[in-house]
Amino acid sequence: MIIIKKNMKSKKSNDDFFKKVLKIVGKIPKGKVTTYGEIAQAIGLKSSARMVGWALNSAAGDDSLPCHRVINRNGELTGKRHFRTPELMRELLENEGIEFLGDKVNIKKHLWRPK
């Protein structure tokens, strides 16, 4: 019985974390990007960047969220494999005016930090 309660609490905690992540992602302005780490820090769990990725995976197929605006700390499109085609993430960003330096987003110009 205790184990079940513990697992239920953990699931609720993950659900809350995922909801917070998706709420922040929904606020990323057009023409801006943020990183998994920036989102984790905004939630108050600085070392949970990988969990942010899991939360985004849970929203796969939800075209109402601008998940394409979340990149890694180096400006790389590490989430591109989760889009219909590997090129789609970059195309969506370029259509919003995001500038690339080679294969990486120009973070200095386009980074948005959630509050």
Q: Which residues are catalytic?
A: 67
What is the Cα–Cα distance from 6 to 81, expressed in whole angstroms?
A: 34
